[in-house]
Structure 1
């Protein structure tokens, strides 16, 4: 790439208000990182370190979606600060019990996805049934005058503690001498009901739950002895249905290989469940099933963790109604108790890509003296048991040229240059080509049931999170996105309702500068011109994706984008071609959907009901009406870094707002 091309690419970044806003938010909320000249690679995403690029950008966009009437920098900074504090409990008084402080020093596992903190329970006075508590037992005691056991629980992120009524199925484990449930023991629990405190009746308490898992540490002598003595005698191969029928019970130890949904159809409807695939030390696989409310237990499990099952219920395949080659499976019975050795995510040193130094020009990367090398040359990121590295906390913007094998939780920001549905497959897969300042990549988007992202067209600017990257057998990089994955989202920034109402998200352009600018999107103040040459038509579009439908010879309506029959999912919309003007220039542009409705100030159905004469005369009433509009180039070609327009209507108006 020539130096001239590089300079133009850097100008594109500097002109982008969204990217500038992210850098400003990072400097404003985490000034200690800015003053230090760089991120501490051991602190990124921690309580004391700064937030990663994707964490900031995704929350800015979510706030913009919530505030469709517009946002300010102050609103965004306030919500970012609040979200960070809630996640990390910043500012809470650090008066945790000493036993938790001691355990915290060696606390390395990743937080479970549904985990809530004890402090948040006190603040919100609410706890949902599927919430997870990752707790430490601070005390075990009996309520005076009763035989009811109570556990006082704390966690690593809170200053408060909370009392739990212990479920009676665990009473045998609270023996003060040999019991597993004692002071300092870590537990996971879910399915809790909160008993809020009434006036003068003390603090909130948690009612008994039988969904409790006890954590074990293989490196602690007592736990190692327990695992060896209790759980290493039996294996999956030793299970016998005849022995079970004669009263035998088993204590089993296995690794969690996968966690999936399960649905059994019966005479009275379907039964939902969870299917956990376990692999024991001999490599034998067996299913562990959870039914009904028991599925809450799956919130306490993570793939790669070791699960110890004491007295699981052994069910025959006929009894469980599970269509599998196995003769039996395991279930969570009334006497079952669970222990877990959590999977500890390993970490890997990742070099900061050269593109960050070359294009980003961030003060976070560069030392005060330009002659010095960057402060950050590598960062530490977690990786799973298969060696895939998690980039959700990567501190900088991830660029397409940085894509490598074994990457997950990637976020990209760029412009859509091609998008189409993969044909002749039962799966709903779309191929989206995304381009940023360093190149382009084709990502495969896998949808659960139907296209769910609204209208996305060529030239639209998107933010996509939850991407994974791997190498194919042909040694090619493959980028994929699965709608059902945690953290997976696609946000069309060009169509954000808050875009035109929020001065912090855009910078005004003149129409005369469009063809000479490298920006992906332009915001312009214009008026409607040459109304006599305006083209207005109403057509049907697919309600899910916003694209026009075509009528097939058999009369069926097919979406031009999804390529599916959509007779029951159509809405009437506009197809509008119009001339925009400002003080210096004019541009021909087109639009559809809500944008066209905003410009014409009439709904498609109302316009369609007008007599033909009134339809023909209607646009003349709009001449010189002033709007703020967002423009993208749907025929964008990268050729010498200039925009090549191929016809008079290559510019699409993605949003419009009437100026009062």
Structure 2
């Protein structure tokens, strides 16, 4: 080996050692928890060909974002701090509940056959039959996604029973069939027979201790029969019974004369739960349907019927046999026609569920990211992934859902048509969008591999508490798309449009969360999630400079946890200012006398509170740093509230900080000195050109 190659190897080894030293303790714990919760893969012979069972086992562990979200959720619940044992216990319990959806060792053969092609997503309120047995409880809002295992009549009676199983349980359970479905369970030509899938809700559980030898489900009206358009019998049923009538053929007069309709349409949207005072406070849900002629009509659920909406999903096809035809004006429905559909006493529902497509994606998109992980190649047990690909779901537009991706996603890997993305990084810039009445903020976030702009869409106003430059955040539920921006070409002054990648986040959308780790109190008391540093270490802090090697699990390099004491109180500056309650940032009084928040760009005359603005020197055995802080951290350092301090005489305000000299604290400190930012004016008002912010403080 020549000297240049040896030098390169030495440089790479030094770089990897530095990465190991700089590893973020939070990321390190997430990876450790992943190795604990995920089954080992080295029990498969290297010479064996992969089998469906081994491929499935490789995906049994939780996704990276699943673990990160639950660790942070636990930290929020335990503000006084957590231990590794507490976190692993919480994760294990949550994952065991989640794994109730995994394949059991025993189940009926008819379910095993259906399992092979079962690809649809579970409904939100779905429970398993095993869970019903374990808890001996079933709520009325719970959903059962079941398969008919058997049908029979109770001996000596005319009571029809069906035995149900599901894809995730080894147990089965019997259901007393509601009389409106007896015709469908007929042995001669009934559709409710062995192997038929059904959705049901609104079930009462008759426990084993109430007379029968085992639990049973009491009759429910709210049952939907699933159809498969690829099966000949189901395709014939849909074609013969449901493709003759359309929305345009429905008339109120015809319905009043006894004409019945059978309709087939796509579920376009599922409306919110409404409480209608003009109808005596009854609840209602509107299901918007679109038929093959692109005609729209509302399907209404009233009172207890609203539970049926739990069985529906947008884009699924709904077949409605004998709906009740109502007047849209009498039902107070805004629709383009004069009639609407309702769930009547003779109505029966069939559903062709929407099945999300899947796409093969490569594992380990960022080189070297898997160093130290549990995945291994046959040639080297410590490096690289054993499985080079995995299957992730995608929608009809080709967007791939990464919410269950097993590894951390880095910004360098992001591309358009990705959903369910989680990012862990530092805030480099943030501002509210102008020229819109909506509450939309643009945030630039950076991780060790790059930076990306995120559009934060809020329902009403900013709701994430105080967030500023340099803060470390975890954000999940992102979608990525290409957007067009206007700019100058590189060789002339002619403006042109160019595409750039943008991430979007919508408040309260499924799977979304936003946690500011820099302001999370539990981190300071959780030794498993942080690594104490010296103040001298922050001088070598990497604020995002790219290097020649790919970064693997490296820290975001903004937060530093230090044990310090207050020093040089003579140089301490303590002021009180008014801050916007919603976002925690300082407000200003305009020339017209109104009070405005510089961060939210809105008037906030009645939504302010007094807060501290402190600039102070902290020290440890390695050196000193001049930093600033506000809010609860300043209260923790000064051990007095802003209102109490404001009421002190001026001379007492001057001498008060002297009593705190040499008091010891544990602090989190970040670099907030970003040179280029739209947020500059607001930042300058806060940090007053002091580059270090104390984001958390705890008196020792």
- Tell whether the structures are fold-level matches, with TM greater than 0.5: yes
| Equivalent in 620, 625, 631 of residue 587 of structure 1 | 625
Q: Alignment partner of 2:420: what SS?
A: strand
Q: Quick check: 1:44–1:395 contact (8 Å CA) kept in 2? A: no
CA–CA distance in structure 1, aligned partners of residues 16 and 580 of structure 2: 38
| Equivalent in 391, 408, 413 of residue 402 of structure 1 | 413
Q: Alignment partner of 2:203: what SS?
A: coil
CA–CA distance in structure 1, aligned partners of residues 279 and 226 of structure 2: 38
Q: How does 1:479-490 map to 2 (within 5 A)?
A: 479-490=503-514
| Equivalent in 518, 525, 528 of residue 501 of structure 1 | 525
| Equivalent in 630, 653, 661 of residue 623 of structure 1 | 661
1:245 corresponds to:
256
The number of residue pairs the alignment matches comes to: 650
Q: Alignment partner of 2:346: what SS?
A: coil
Q: How does 1:69-148 map to 2 (within 5 A)?
A: 69-89=80-100, 94-143=105-154, 146-148=157-159
Q: Alignment partner of 2:233: what SS?
A: helix
* Residues 88 and 617 of structure 1, relative CA distance in 2, 3 Å threshold: same
CA–CA distance in structure 2, aligned partners of residues 392 and 323 of structure 1: 37
Superposition deviation, residue 522 in structure 1: 0.5
CA–CA distance in structure 1, aligned partners of residues 20 and 516 of structure 2: 19
| Equivalent in 524, 536, 541 of residue 517 of structure 1 | 541
Q: Quick check: 2:442–2:455 contact (8 Å CA) kept in 1? A: yes
* Residues 165 and 610 of structure 1, relative CA distance in 2, 3 Å threshold: farther
Superposition deviation, residue 490 in structure 1: 0.5
* Residues 269 and 472 of structure 1, relative CA distance in 2, 3 Å threshold: farther
Q: Which moved more, 1:164-173 or 1:517-526?
A: 164-173
* Residues 232 and 330 of structure 1, relative CA distance in 2, 3 Å threshold: same
| Equivalent in 27, 33, 48 of residue 25 of structure 1 | 33
* Residues 187 and 367 of structure 1, relative CA distance in 2, 3 Å threshold: same
* Residues 44 and 50 of structure 1, relative CA distance in 2, 3 Å threshold: farther
Superposition deviation, residue 227 in structure 1: 1.7
1:540 corresponds to:
578
CA–CA distance in structure 2, aligned partners of residues 211 and 77 of structure 1: 39
Q: Quick check: 2:103–2:167 contact (8 Å CA) kept in 1? A: no
1:432 corresponds to:
443
1:569 maps onto 2:593 in alignment: no
* Residues 450 and 41 of structure 1, relative CA distance in 2, 3 Å threshold: farther
1:531 corresponds to:
569
Q: Quick check: 1:45–1:393 contact (8 Å CA) kept in 2? A: no
Q: Which moved more, 1:239-248 or 1:504-513?
A: 239-248
* Residues 123 and 551 of structure 1, relative CA distance in 2, 3 Å threshold: farther
CA–CA distance in structure 1, aligned partners of residues 244 and 596 of structure 2: 62
CA–CA distance in structure 1, aligned partners of residues 134 and 339 of structure 2: 46
Q: Alignment partner of 1:500: what SS?
A: helix
1:642 corresponds to:
none
1:604 corresponds to:
642
CA–CA distance in structure 2, aligned partners of residues 323 and 524 of structure 1: 61
CA–CA distance in structure 1, aligned partners of residues 110 and 318 of structure 2: 25
Q: Quick check: 2:370–2:384 contact (8 Å CA) kept in 1? A: no
CA–CA distance in structure 1, aligned partners of residues 384 and 663 of structure 2: 54
Superposition deviation, residue 133 in structure 1: 1.3
| Equivalent in 180, 185, 190 of residue 191 of structure 2 | 180
* Residues 454 and 168 of structure 1, relative CA distance in 2, 3 Å threshold: farther
1:641 corresponds to:
none
1:635 maps onto 2:673 in alignment: yes
* Residues 167 and 554 of structure 1, relative CA distance in 2, 3 Å threshold: farther
CA–CA distance in structure 2, aligned partners of residues 44 and 259 of structure 1: 36
* Residues 94 and 627 of structure 1, relative CA distance in 2, 3 Å threshold: same
Q: Alignment partner of 1:158: what SS?
A: coil
Q: Which moved more, 1:560-569 or 1:19-28?
A: 560-569
Q: How does 1:401-420 map to 2 (within 5 A)?
A: 401-420=412-431
CA–CA distance in structure 1, aligned partners of residues 641 and 512 of structure 2: 33
* Cα deviations by residue, 1:76-128 (Å, 9 ceiling, x for unpaired): 22222222221122899633333333332332221112212222233334333
Structure 2 unmatched runs, 5+: 1-7, 485-497, 543-556, 677-686
Superposition deviation, residue 45 in structure 1: 8.1
CA–CA distance in structure 2, aligned partners of residues 241 and 367 of structure 1: 68
* Cα deviations by residue, 1:16-65 (Å, 9 ceiling, x for unpaired): 11111111112222241377799x89778879622221122112211222
* Cα deviations by residue, 1:615-642 (Å, 9 ceiling, x for unpaired): 333222211111111111111469xxxx
CA–CA distance in structure 2, aligned partners of residues 44 and 658 of structure 1: 50
* Residues 124 and 482 of structure 1, relative CA distance in 2, 3 Å threshold: same
CA–CA distance in structure 1, aligned partners of residues 624 and 45 of structure 2: 46
Q: Which moved more, 1:367-376 or 1:452-461?
A: 367-376
Q: Quick check: 2:471–2:517 contact (8 Å CA) kept in 1? A: yes
* Cα deviations by residue, 1:413-434 (Å, 9 ceiling, x for unpaired): 1001111111232221111111
CA–CA distance in structure 1, aligned partners of residues 253 and 240 of structure 2: 24
* Residues 614 and 335 of structure 1, relative CA distance in 2, 3 Å threshold: farther
Q: Which moved more, 1:78-87 or 1:431-440?
A: 78-87
CA–CA distance in structure 1, aligned partners of residues 42 and 444 of structure 2: 34
CA–CA distance in structure 1, aligned partners of residues 124 and 265 of structure 2: 22
Superposition deviation, residue 460 in structure 1: 0.8
Q: Which moved more, 1:135-144 or 1:224-233?
A: 135-144
Q: Alignment partner of 1:321: what SS?
A: coil
Q: Alignment partner of 2:532: what SS?
A: coil
Superposition deviation, residue 264 in structure 1: 8.0
Q: Which moved more, 1:583-592 or 1:225-234?
A: 225-234
CA–CA distance in structure 2, aligned partners of residues 492 and 373 of structure 1: 32
* Cα deviations by residue, 1:580-605 (Å, 9 ceiling, x for unpaired): 10012111111122212211222223
* Residues 494 and 226 of structure 1, relative CA distance in 2, 3 Å threshold: same
Q: Alignment partner of 2:696: what SS?
A: strand
Q: Which moved more, 1:153-162 or 1:304-313?
A: 153-162
Q: Alignment partner of 1:599: what SS?
A: helix
Superposition deviation, residue 205 in structure 1: 3.6
Note the aligned Cα RMSD (angstroms).
Answer: 3.3
CA–CA distance in structure 2, aligned partners of residues 264 and 273 of structure 1: 7
2:553 corresponds to:
none
* Cα deviations by residue, 1:527-567 (Å, 9 ceiling, x for unpaired): 11111221222233222222223334555433222223334
2:222 corresponds to:
211
Q: Quick check: 2:164–2:173 contact (8 Å CA) kept in 1? A: yes
Superposition deviation, residue 444 in structure 1: 0.8
* Residues 46 and 594 of structure 1, relative CA distance in 2, 3 Å threshold: farther
Superposition deviation, residue 467 in structure 1: 0.6
If the length of structure 2 is used for normalisation, what is the TM-score? 0.85
CA–CA distance in structure 2, aligned partners of residues 161 and 96 of structure 1: 8
Superposition deviation, residue 568 in structure 1: 3.9
Q: Which moved more, 1:246-255 or 1:46-55?
A: 46-55
